[in-house]
């Protein structure tokens, strides 16, 4: 049995990586990936006297493929279970995409007693779905198409998704086949039910009240060419809801900017950790 497993109250086994020593930097990944997507940043922080921790969300990667609990409240509680089990303090929380929602909901449910700073990257808050009070959101049909793609041929769906995710479909894009293959590999490790349910979790959860509870220095990073989580209804709104948030817009950057704009992002992350 791996020692890098914690068991939650409902018996779910959550896999995590724990690299280096120092102030903890805890990473939450996007859908439909796992902790491996953060390896570049985990190596970065652990090589710079920080402790990197990244877990596989329930249903994803090496964690249990649970039938139930694939919702944002439970994801946030699983993150809390990891931080409590490892007794992490003075944490910098970093969340990409769905993971950004997980970070916001964690703070909304568990507060900031263990948290010093937060970073939201290409994050889904405040709300992705178009509603009467969120007219700039995406229509439900967009998320129904994702679910239909999973049901029809999830392997091909993930191969196709890697293109807009990393902006490979844009003129002049330099996205390696290796990166797209890695995206497919990580995506194929998520359980079918977890992947399907998570679409609702990341698209229909309203994080407005969670964002208002964030009372720590927060860096919000987003690409203005993000085809997955459009910046206008996400980062630009979140930066107004989070007190004293710093918004950094990466011109031309896609959703997967932690890979495509790795040098830029890593420099900004390290500077924020040291600030």
Indicate which residues carry an active-site annotation. 97, 226, 255
| Beta-carbon count within 10 A of 145 CB | 13
Give Cβ neighbours of residue 35 (< 8 Å, ≥ 6 apart): 15, 16, 17, 27, 29, 42, 54, 55, 56, 61
Distance CA 176, CA 180 (A): 7
């Amino acid at each position: 049995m791996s020692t890098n497993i914690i068991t939650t109250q409902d018996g779910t086994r959550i896999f995590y990586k724990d690299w280096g020593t120092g102030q903890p930097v805890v990473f939450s990944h996007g859908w439909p990936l796992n902790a491996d997507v953060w390896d570049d940043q985990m190596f970065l922080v652990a090589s710079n006297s920080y402790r990197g921790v990244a877990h596989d969300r329930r249903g994803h990667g090496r964690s249990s493929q649970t039938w139930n609990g694939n919702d944002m409240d439970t994801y946030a509680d699983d993150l809390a279970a990891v931080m409590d089990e490892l007794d992490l303090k003075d944490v910098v929380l970093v969340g990409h995409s769905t993971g950004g929602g997980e970070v916001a909901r964690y703070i909304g449910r568990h507060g900031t007693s263990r948290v010093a700073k937060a970073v939201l990257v290409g994050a889904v808050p405040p709300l992705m779905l178009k509603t009467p009070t969120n007219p700039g959101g995406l229509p439900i049909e967009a998320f129904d198409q994702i679910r239909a793609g999973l049901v029809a041929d999830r392997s091909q769906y993930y191969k196709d998704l890697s293109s807009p995710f990393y902006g490979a479909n844009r003129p002049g894009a330099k996205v390696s086949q290796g990166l797209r293959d890695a995206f497919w590999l990580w995506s194929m490790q998520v359980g079918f039910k977890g992947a399907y349910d998570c679409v609702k979790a990341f698209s229909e959860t309203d994080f407005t009240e969670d964002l208002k509870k964030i009372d720590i220095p927060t860096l919000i990073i987003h690409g203005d060419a993000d085809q997955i989580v459009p910046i206008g209804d996400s980062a630009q709104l979140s930066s107004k809801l989070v007190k004293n948030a710093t918004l950094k817009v990466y011109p031309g950057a896609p959703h997967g900017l932690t890979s495509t704009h790795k040098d830029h992002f890593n420099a900004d992350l390290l500077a924020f950790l040291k600030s």
